[in-house]
Amino acid sequence: MNSASAVRSRWMLGALAAFAMAWAITRAAVQSITIDEAVTHNVFVFNHRFLRYAANNHILNSMLMYGSTKLFGISQFTARLPALLGAALYIWASCRLCRLLSQSLFVQLAVFVGLVFNPFVFDHLVAARGYGLALAFLMWAIVYAAEAYLKGQDLVFACAVSSACAGVSFDANFSFGAVNAVVLLAIFIAACQKDPKRRGRLLAACVVPALALIGVVSGYALTHRHPNELIYGARSLGETFGSIIEASLFQNRFVFLKPLVFALVGATGAAWLAAAIASRAKSKTASVGALAAAVFAVTLAAHWLAFRIFGLLLPKDRTAIYFFPLFMIAAGALAAVPAVSHLGRYLRGAYLSSLAFMGIYFLLCLRLTYFKEWFWDADVQRTYAVLSCLNREHGVRQVASTWSYEAALNFYRLAHSSSIAEIGQKFDPASTQVYVVDSFHTPEALEGKNLKIFYRSPTTDLVLSADPQSAREFAASSCLG
Q: pLDDT digits over 432-463, tens only?
A: 999 999 999 999 999 999 999 999 999 999 99
- The candidate with the shortest Cα–Cα distance to 89, out of 45, 11, 141, 33, is 141
Judged on CB neighbours under 10 Å (0-12, 13-18, 19+), 184 is buried
How far is residue 264's CA from residue 350's CA, in Å, rounded to a whole number? 9
CB atoms within 10 A of CB 203: 15
Q: What's the average model confidence in pLDDT over 67-80?
A: 97
Residue 266's pLDDT is 97
Mean pLDDT (the chain, rounded):
94
Q: What is the pLDDT of residues 385-433, one digit of tens each?
A: 999 999 999 999 999 999 999 999 999 999 998 889 999 999 999 999 9
Residue 1 pLDDT more than 60? no
Residue 8's pLDDT is 80
Residue 7 — pLDDT band, cuts 50, 70, 90?
A: confident
Pairing of strands 462-466, 399-401: unpaired
Residue 2 pLDDT more than 80? no
Q: What is the pLDDT of residues 111-131, one digit of tens each?
A: 999 999 999 999 999 999 999
Residue 6 — pLDDT band, cuts 50, 70, 90?
A: confident
Element (H, E) at 466: strand 462-466
Q: Give, in order, the Cα–Cα distances in Å from 237 to each of 18, 293, 324, 452.
A: 36, 17, 14, 46
Q: Are 31 and 371 in contact, with CB atoms under 8 Å apart?
A: yes
How far is residue 164's CA from residue 159's CA, in Å, rounded to a whole number? 9
- The candidate with the shortest Cα–Cα distance to 319, out of 175, 178, 126, is 175
